[in-house]
């Protein structure tokens, strides 16, 4: 993409009303624009990152065997009355009346609708196990929307629902989600720690929230420092293998890690003092096994092997897709701007032409652009007629992980400069070598992609 043909309205000034770095940087980098309180337009650059994140979530869900579908944003109130949540849900639920005076709502979540769907089509245990998910816009009418996309009103969420014959099978689905979430967040360059969550009125031990450590997090968290040494890495997992998934869960949840909601001072005291940590975290996902509550209320029963009619064991599992952009920036920025992890970079390489209009510099840039794209790398080429300082400032602000700088002086020796946004370190090398290096850097990220 050539910058002169793109729409990247970066702001010089820091917006006064944005209180946290991610909100400020998303506004400054031309990623979002507020259209109403807590409701944002995703400008082209922000939309690219949103798509990258959405894609990773899709790939990892499908790798785990979960099936994508799409439920609508608006729902009839009927099913919510059946589950009892229409009254229980407070003013955060946006209630709507249509032209025929029917009660509708903008879905904040989809337990009722998906249970109704499964109840209508699935009658036998033979169709199980089944996990369906979708990535769709939700609405919660927050009384004070703030922090940009971190606590917006219209937000994009992945919510998935498992349907299983037995509690045991549903707990495998729970573990499978935990494993897939670990992979998902790591591909985005995030460390998201599963922490024991509060299961609310339904009760039970089977719910974890995933938290990204960041000073601006809304939750206070308490954990054993050993947990931050854990990496999922590129281990091969057979998602059907119950023992393998269980082992990952044990590895990642056996150490103390809780939010203020579930914090237990006595248990925390058993962690060796040198490893006790208190910090702040951003919630980016939650998994929850809740049993047969919705199935019973909404009639999701199947015949089991013995011919008996039994309610399905369910869980729901969410990832805050639009919120993740904020979380990633909170975890990865400096005073110059955003630093995108390679896995979610909206463009993998920034190409800076130091002397736009100079025939040989232009032609070197065009050649590098062509070569990079031929290798499957996405490039933002700053082909504006602007000073080097302005170009570097834009690149630093928008945070592409790698930059190639091309100028007449370097070219005289056949050299360009490759710069890491994270370390700020630059190295002179031939264009061929820079392209080779970038291909190698991104190879594991491309290899992690799944054809879906």
Quote the CA–CA distance of 209 and 259 in Å, as a whole number: 9
Residue with token string 């025939």: 359
Structure tokens at 175: 């573990």
Which spans of this chain sit near its own copies (rule: CB under 8 A)? 5-7, 9, 30, 33, 35-37, 39-44, 46-47, 50, 65, 67-76, 91, 94, 96, 98-99, 102, 104, 106, 113, 116-117, 120-122, 127, 130, 132, 134, 137, 139, 141, 143, 153-154, 373, 376, 451
Quote the least distance from Cβ 307 to its own copies, whole Å.
19
List the one residue out of 186, 171, 157 whose CA is nearest residue 245: 171
Quote the least distance from Cβ 438 to its own copies, whole Å.
16
Quote the least distance from Cβ 380 to its own copies, whole Å.
13
Quote the CA–CA distance of 385 and 273 in Å, as a whole number: 58
CB nearer its own copies, residue 117 or residue 448 = 117
Residue with token string 């995933």: 210
CB nearer its own copies, residue 14 or residue 250 = 14
CB nearer its own copies, residue 10 or residue 441 = 10
Structure tokens at 50: 């949103």
Structure tokens at 450: 């799944």
Quote the least distance from Cβ 369 to its own copies, whole Å.
14
CB nearer its own copies, residue 66 or residue 280 = 66
Quote the least distance from Cβ 74 to its own copies, whole Å.
6
CB nearer its own copies, residue 316 or residue 405 = 316
Quote the CA–CA distance of 301 and 298 in Å, as a whole number: 9
Q: Which is it for strands 94-97 and 426-429: parallel, antiparallel or unpaired? A: unpaired
Q: Which is it for strands 301-303 and 257-259: parallel, antiparallel or unpaired? A: unpaired
CB nearer its own copies, residue 52 or residue 333 = 52
CB nearer its own copies, residue 126 or residue 235 = 126
DSSP-based three-state secondary structure for 386? coil
Structure tokens at 16: 């006064």
Structure tokens at 69: 């579908």
CB nearer its own copies, residue 104 or residue 393 = 104
Query: Cβ contacts of residue 88 below 8 Å, gap of 6+?
Result: none
Dihedral of alpha carbons 275, 281, 284, 290, sign: positive
CB nearer its own copies, residue 69 or residue 267 = 69
Quote the least distance from Cβ 244 to its own copies, whole Å.
18
Per DSSP, helices labelled H in 299-430 are 321-331, 359-374, 388-398, 408-412
Quote the CA–CA distance of 28 and 22 in Å, as a whole number: 10
DSSP-based three-state secondary structure for 118? helix
Quote the least distance from Cβ 116 to its own copies, whole Å.
8
Quote the CA–CA distance of 31 and 9 in Å, as a whole number: 8
CB nearer its own copies, residue 128 or residue 339 = 128
The dihedral formed by the CA atoms of 167, 233, 208 and 328, expressed in degrees to the nearest 10: -140
Quote the least distance from Cβ 15 to its own copies, whole Å.
13
Q: Which is it for strands 313-320 and 333-334: parallel, antiparallel or unpaired? A: unpaired
Quote the least distance from Cβ 57 to its own copies, whole Å.
14
Quote the least distance from Cβ 305 to its own copies, whole Å.
16
């Amino acid at each position: 993409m050539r910058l002169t043909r793109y729409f990247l309205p970066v702001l010089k000034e820091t917006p006064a009303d944005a209180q946290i770095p991610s909100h400020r940087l998303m506004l400054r980098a031309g990623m979002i624009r507020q259209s109403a309180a807590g409701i944002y337009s995703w400008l082209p650059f922000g939309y690219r990152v949103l798509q990258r994140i959405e894609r990773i979530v899709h790939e990892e869900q499908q790798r785990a065997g979960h099936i994508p579908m799409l439920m609508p944003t608006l729902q009839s109130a009927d099913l919510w009355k059946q589950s009892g949540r229409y009254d229980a849900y407070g003013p955060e639920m946006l209630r709507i009346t249509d032209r025929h005076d029917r009660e509708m709502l903008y879905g904040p979540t989809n337990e009722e609708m998906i249970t109704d769907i499964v109840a209508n089509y699935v009658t036998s245990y033979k169709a199980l196990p089944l996990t369906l998910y979708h990535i769709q816009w939700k609405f919660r009418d927050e009384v004070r929307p703030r922090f940009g996309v971190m606590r917006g009103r219209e937000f994009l969420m992945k919510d998935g629902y498992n349907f299983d014959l037995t509690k045991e099978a549903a707990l495998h689905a729970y573990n499978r989600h935990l494993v897939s979430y670990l992979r998902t967040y790591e591909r985005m360059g995030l460390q998201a720690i599963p922490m024991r969550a509060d299961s609310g009125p339904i009760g039970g031990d089977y719910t974890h929230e995933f938290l990204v450590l960041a000073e601006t997090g809304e939750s206070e968290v308490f954990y054993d420092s050993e947990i931050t040494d854990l990496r999922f890495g590129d281990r091969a997992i057979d998602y059907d293998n119950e023992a393998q998934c269980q082992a990952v869960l044990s590895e990642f949840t056996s150490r103390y890690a809780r939010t203020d909601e579930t914090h237990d001072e006595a248990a925390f005291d058993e962690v060796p003092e040198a490893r006790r940590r208190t910090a702040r975290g951003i919630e980016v996902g939650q998994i929850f096994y809740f049993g047969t509550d919705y199935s019973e209320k909404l009639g999701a029963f199947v015949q089991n092997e013995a011919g008996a009619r039994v309610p399905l064991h369910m869980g729901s599992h969410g990832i805050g897709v639009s919120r993740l952009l904020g979380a990633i920036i909170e975890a990865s920025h400096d005073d110059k701007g955003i630093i995108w992890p390679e896995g979610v970079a909206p463009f993998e390489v920034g190409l800076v032409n130091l002397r736009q209009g100079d025939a040989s510099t232009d032609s070197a840039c065009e050649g590098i652009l062509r070569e990079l794209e031929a290798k499957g790398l996405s490039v933002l080429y700053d082909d504006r007629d602007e000073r080097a300082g302005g170009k570097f400032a834009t690149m630093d602000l928008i945070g592409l992980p790698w930059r190639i700088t091309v100028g007449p002086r370097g070219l005289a020796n056949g050299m360009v400069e490759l710069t890491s946004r994270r370390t700020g370190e630059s190295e002179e090398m031939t264009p061929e070598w820079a392209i080779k290096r970038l291909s190698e850097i991104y190879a594991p990220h491309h290899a992690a992609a799944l054809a879906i």
